[in-house]
Structure 1
Amino acid sequence: MELLQLQYFRKVAHLEHMTKAAQELHIAQPALSKTIARLEEDLGVPLFDRKGRQIRLNTFGEAFLKKVEAALTLLEDGRREVIDLAGMERGRVFLATTTHKCFTDLIGSFLAQHPDVQLRIIQASTEEKVQQLFTGEIDLCITFPPIERQGIAGISFLTEEIVLAVPPGHRLANRTSIALAEVANEPFICIKEGNPFRAMTDEFCRQAGFAPHIVCEVDEHSAVSHFIRTGIGIAFFPESIGDKITSFPTIRIDQPVCQRTYQISWLRDRYLSKAAQTFREYVVSYFAELKTGTSP
């Protein structure tokens, strides 16, 4: 049994598609098929159920995959720890976020202070982040709401208010705060379903005793801003974005409590490089200093 066989098996197991796996591994599909066949021969059992060109991980494969992922993660942890100890690596951090826009200032500040660190950032959903943490594809992830999953540790570093944005001239434009129930009959501009922000704001409305009357759904907050200016509806906005907008009023919500909390997470039992530890500590201290009004 060879290390390469295990790496190839993991990729095929995740994709359950030999051609796609071969493309991602940059090898020929027949060579990949032979490698998997040799692994199954060594183990004495099939790892996949095959029907024509379709393959599905079977019971043997599911059990073996758990051990393979644990073994490959431990080997990668060992490699990183040895490199750290030997001082051979300038420092690399693999980070996943739901959106990059909220943290551009943080990332720019970190890189300015740590120019030798190579920071690679990808955008991913919450479920993708969980999977990437367990497979070792990323060191850390920033997410909201906080991930509550066995084996994943995290630190909450930022809690911000969610405010209500209304068009200029709206009947509530001069208010500084409201109870959310007051806008139960208003038309809403919302982020599309499937986005964590949408799930969160739908829950706020449920707590206030109504379901929002949605007249427009968009992909991101910049599009929400455009439609608010047209006057077709009101919308929820994160405080961090709302504070930067002067073209329409934003109103604080007193009831229910409308907030979101960001967390930086990592795999509890996995080795974190010095660079990743430094970035994690920087994120927490950066927002702690912002809260107290000191310069990060």
Structure 2
Amino acid sequence: MELLQLQYFCKVARLEHMTKAAQELHIAQPALSKTISRLEEHVGVPLFDRNGRQIKLNAYGKAFLKKVEGALSLLEEGQRELIDMAGMERGRVMLATTTHKCFSDMIGSFLSVHQGVQMRITQASPEEKVQQLQSGEIDFCITFPPLEQDGIDGVNILTEEIMLAVPLTHRLASRERIDLAEVAHEPFICIKEGNPFRAMTDAFCKEAGFEPNLVCEVDEHSAVGHFLHAGIGIAFLPETLGDKVSSMRLIRIEKPLCLRTYQLAWRHDRYLSAASRTFRDYVIRYFAEMQRQAEMRP
């Protein structure tokens, strides 16, 4: 059994598609198929159910995948620990995050201070982030809502207020604060279903005693401003994105309390390199200082 066989097996097992796996591994599909077949011969059982060109991980494969992922993760951690001990590199950090401006600013600030650190940054859904943490593909993820799972440690780094955005010509544009129930019959511009932000804002509305009157769904916050400017409806926006859209008014929601909290999470039993530990400490300090400065503003 060869290390390369196990790495190839993990890729095929995650994608359950031989051609896509071969493309991502940058090898020919027949060569990958032959490698998987040799691995199955070695372990003595089929790891995939095959139906024509379709493959699906079977019960043997699922059991084997857990062990292989654990073994590969331990090997990688061992290598990183030895590299740290020998001082052979200045460090690498693997992070899954969101498109939130606060986090891109923080990452840029970190790299300007620690120029020798290499970072690999990806975007992923909350479910994908958990899988990547558990498999050892990433060192950290920044996510909301905070993860509460065995084997995952984390620290809350940013709590931001969710506000109500209305066009400048809206009847409520002169208001500083509002109870959410007051806009129960207003048309809403919302993030599409399946996004954690949408689930959160739907919960806010439910707590206020109504379901949002949906007139427009968008993929991301950057699209909200266009529809606000057109006067189509009102929308929820994080306070940290308020300066992105000029043609609107942000109103604080007094009731219910509308907040979201981001967490920096990592696997409890995963070895963190010196670069990773430095990054974690920097993130915590960065957002603590941001919070301190926010509290000092009038």
On whether the aligned pair clears a TM of 0.5, the verdict is yes
Distance of 1:82 and 1:32 partners within structure 2: 31
Whole-Å separation in 2 of the counterparts to 1:140 and 1:196:
19
TM-score, normalising length: structure 2: 0.95
Please say if 1:291 is aligned against 2:284.
Answer: no
- Equivalents in 2 of 1:253, 1:63: separation in Å? 49
Matching residue of 1:105? 105
CA contact (8 A) 2:228 2:247 kept: no
Query: Corresponding residue for 1:93?
Result: 93
Compared CA separation, residues 115 and 186, structure 1 to 2 (3 A): same
Q: Secondary structure of the equivalent of 2:115?
A: coil
1:22-33, aligned counterparts within 5 Å? 22-33=22-33
Partner of 1:293, secondary structure, is helix
* 1:183-202 superposed matches below 5 A: 183-202=183-202
Residues of 2 paired with 1:46 and 1:226: CA distance? 54
1:244 and 1:99 map into 2 onto residues whose CA distance is: 14
Amino acid at match of 2:232: I
Matched residue type, 2:140: L
Aligned residue for 2:185, secondary structure, equals coil
Alignment root-mean-square deviation, CA: 1.6
2:110 is equivalent to residue 131 of structure 1 = no
Q: Is the 8 A contact 1:162 1:239 kept in 2?
A: yes
Q: Distance in 2 between matches of 1:108 and 1:16?
A: 36
Structure 1: tracts of 5 or more residues without a match: none
Map 1:129-208 onto structure 2 (within 5 A).
129-208=129-208
2:212 is aligned to 212
Other-structure match for 1:275: 275
Aligned residue number for residue 54 of structure 1: 54
The structural deviation recorded for 1:149 is 2.3
Q: Is the 8 A contact 1:98 1:126 kept in 2?
A: no
279-288 or 99-108: bigger deviation: 99-108
Gaps of 5+ in 2: none
1:248 & 1:54 partners in 2: Cα distance? 51
For residue 170 of structure 1, give the secondary structure of its aligned residue in structure 2.
coil
Q: Percent same amino acid among aligned pairs?
A: 72
Partner residue in 2 for 1:259: 259
Cα separation, 1, equivalents of 2:35 and 2:121: 32
Cα-to-partner distance string for 1:243-271 (whole Å, 9 max, x where unaligned):
55553211111111100000011111111
**C-alpha distance after superposition, 1:193-242 (max 9, x if no partner):** 12111111111111111110111111222211121111111110101112
Partner Cα distance (1:222, 1:12) in 2: 36
Offset, 1:35: 1.5
Letter in 2 for 1:281: D
TM-score by length of 1: 0.95
After the TM superposition, which segments of 4 or more aligned residues of structure 1 sit over 3 Å from their partners? 243-247
Q: How far is the alpha carbon of 1:114 from its aligned partner?
A: 0.8
Contact 1:100 1:123 in 2 (8 A): no
